[in-house]
Amino acid sequence: MKWLNAMIAMAALAMSGAWASPVAMGNLQRPVTGQSAVLSFGGEGGREFMLDGKPFQIRSGEIHPQRVPRQHWRHRIRTAKAMGLNTIAFYVFWNALEQEDGSWDFSGRNDIAAFIDMCAEEGMWVLFRPGPYVCGEWDLGGLPTYLIRDAVTPLRYTGNAQFMEAQTRYLEKIAEIAIPRLSRNGGPILMVQLENEYGSYKSPHDELAYIEWLKTFWEGKGAGPFYLSEGSSNHHLRFVPRGVAVGLDPADNAGQMRNALRIAPGVPVFSSETYPGWLRHWGEGNWTPSRNALNSVRWYMRDGVSFNLFVYHGGTSFGLTAGANSNENGDNFQPDLTSYDYGAPVGENGNLTREYFEYRDIILRAIPGLNAPEPPSTPPTMVIPAFSPEKLYSLNELRAVGETESFDTPPTLESLGQNQGIGIYTAVIPAGPAATLSCRAHDYALVYVGDKFVGTLDRRLGQRSLELPGRDRPAVLKIIVDTFGHVNFCSYTEKDRKGLIGSVTLGGEEVTGWRVQRMPLTTVPHPMIDVSGARADEQGGLYRSLVKLTEEPQDTFLDMSGWNKGYVWVNGHLLGRYWNIGPQLRLYCPAEFLRKGNNAIEVLDLHISDDNGPEISGCTERNMEVTRATRALNNQWD
């Protein structure tokens, strides 16, 4: 009977809407390095965050250090403090840390320990989000590609021994960084998030046991308390272990909060991802901020609700790290831009938007005694006068690896040990009349018969076939497959593979005898040793300019609007992808990639083949023209 009375009382409490206290905003405690501080759950019904026994409001902004030039980390943290926030939340991207040879790279933007320490130095707490899966519009949601070399790979599942072994190895490495930096150990980490949005995965092997395993792992290391980020429905909250705080992605209204309190009583509920903007895909409209998030923050500051702005500052998915979205069968493929600007209050190069100052005004008005510092100025940007790179080699003259085996069915790039980049598939097809070529190219393909360019296949548009011309003799069919990042959300992450997927047919007959060459594009591709016999009439090529800077470099945006589709390296650093379908036409190049004197800028374009490439210039800001409307969505749970 006591148990029943307690449950009735808890339900009544949840329905009353009392989930936080405005008094929590008065706790202005900041981290002091070496001084222990304990976050716990307490207050009426255990629904409040308590810091050293006093109600505490978490006011957080999400910044991913692996997306931000290291020289700008402190600037971004200081803008958050000046807004009135007291916490930085961030994902850790596993696949950027573990290298192909099994070694670990914690240097540069991967120096997670240094970022956490910098947050503490600036008086900011930390919400630590190590995954292993994180989503984040990042390639494969942060998971390493070696996990999906096999055709069937259940991820995020205790029944997959390979996954669990790899996950344990990763978490052991991350724990070495996190545990000494917990707030109870004198660091700034208030809470560790257990995984991410597991209730949205929708796989046949979803299980509470997986989340419980993660909780047990971290408890064994001495961590706690914990939280999960989930949608607000019953379906999404079915994997929340007892005693774990509930972060809603997002908490937009009181009804969502009440439902979470009903499902997970006795723990705090907060908005772990409030969206000030939204992600963007190639071919959509440009970045726009959300006005709804401003109203949400007004509510949080009125009632003392804890929150995290996702993202406060998005930064850039440099290299090949941008992910993609699709539905659960892989259709409706939507690759993410290189930019992760997101319409966030702090833009890609650290510029403070109009919305930044509106958020700041809301927060500071609610806490008159906060005494937040003035916002730091935006790091300077520079103009680089227009230059035209010269063609060095045709695409077909560049060195590729592989082609040592023959395959009946084309293998995926993952099965050959490659993550993204380019795959060049060739097979001999017989003489015959014009016929339909059918195949699944993940994600964009250029198709040739002999020397003749036939056309392209674009996965975004659902294109899986095209007409090949008639042939009076056998000919070489060549399919050059260019990739985007792996799907990072929903259970299709287990199935998304790159290259040619499954069998290829011509006129209904299967094409066999495939050979594959690969260009990983992790470095600038080099020419073949002997290019004398290479055809020079194919589309695409590698271009290069030496650009001399007479002053110390500053951030800039390379305007690629005259080019078609490809990749840009600056002094060996891969900025990422460009594509003239937009909306992003300029690639952010931080000052730390540049140097005073000569700078090598190299471009690999899949279509442009002129001897002199289109002009490129360095601009002081990113392009923001809106040529089509795309809504700044909230998270659309289904």
pLDDT tens for 387-404 read: 999 999 999 899 999 887
Q: Is the pLDDT of residue 1 over 90?
A: no
Q: Can you tell me the distance from the alpha carbon of 25 to that of 32, in angstroms, rounded to the nearest whole number?
A: 19
Determine the 3-state secondary structure of 119 from DSSP. Answer: helix
Residue 628 confidence (pLDDT) = 77
Q: 421-472: per-residue pLDDT in tens? A: 999 999 999 999 999 999 999 999 999 999 899 999 999 999 999 999 999 9
Q: Do residues 475 and 449 make contact, with C-beta atoms less than 8 angstroms apart?
A: yes
- From 48, 122, 195, 197, active-site residue: 197
Residue 3 confidence (pLDDT) = 38
Place of tokens 């500051």: 301
Q: Is the pLDDT of residue 29 over 70?
A: yes
Residues 6+ apart with CB under 8 A from 361: none
- From 62, 273, 414, 602, active-site residue: 273
384-393+539-619: CATH topology: Jelly Rolls (2.60.120)
Q: 465-480: per-residue pLDDT in tens? A: 999 999 999 999 999 9
Helix (H) or strand (E) holding 168: helix 161-178
Active-site residue, 197 included: yes
The answer to whether the 384-393+539-619 and 400-519 domains have the same CATH topology is: yes
Residues 6+ apart with CB under 8 A from 139: 95, 145, 320, 321, 322, 323, 419, 420, 485, 486, 488
Between 628 and 211, the more confident residue is 211
Q: Average of pLDDT values for 114-134?
A: 98
Q: Can you tell me the distance from the alpha carbon of 201 to that of 230, in angstroms, rounded to the nearest whole number?
A: 11
Q: Which of 95, 40, 81, 20 is nearest to 248 (CA)?
A: 20
Q: In what order do the strands lie in the sheet with 48-51?
A: 39-42, 48-51, 54-55
Q: Can you tell me the distance from the alpha carbon of 88 to that of 286, in angstroms, rounded to the nearest whole number?
A: 26
Confidence of residue 230 (pLDDT cuts 50, 70, 90): very high
Q: What angle do CA 294, 295, 297 make, to 5 degrees?
A: 65
Q: Is the pLDDT of residue 613 over 90?
A: yes
Q: Average of pLDDT values for 345-355?
A: 97
Residue 4 confidence (pLDDT) = 38
Q: Which of 343, 313, 364 is nearest to 115 (CA)?
A: 313
2-14+23-366: CATH topology: TIM Barrel (3.20.20)
Residues 6+ apart with CB under 8 A from 12: none
Q: Where are the domains of the chain?
A: 2-14+23-366, 384-393+539-619, 400-519
Report in angstroms the alpha-carbon separations of 409 from 214, 511, 512: 39, 8, 6
Q: Average of pLDDT values for 257-263?
A: 90
Which one of 161-170, 258-267, 400-409 scores highest in mean pLDDT? 161-170
Residue 198 confidence (pLDDT) = 94
Q: Average of pLDDT values for 505-524?
A: 97
The amino acid present at 325, given as its one-letter code, is: N
To 10 degrees, the CA torsion angle through 494, 498, 502, 506?
150
CATH superfamily of domain region 400-519: Galactose-binding domain-like (2.60.120.260)
Q: Average of pLDDT values for 90-116?
A: 96
Active-site residue, 121 included: no
Tally of residues, the chain? 638
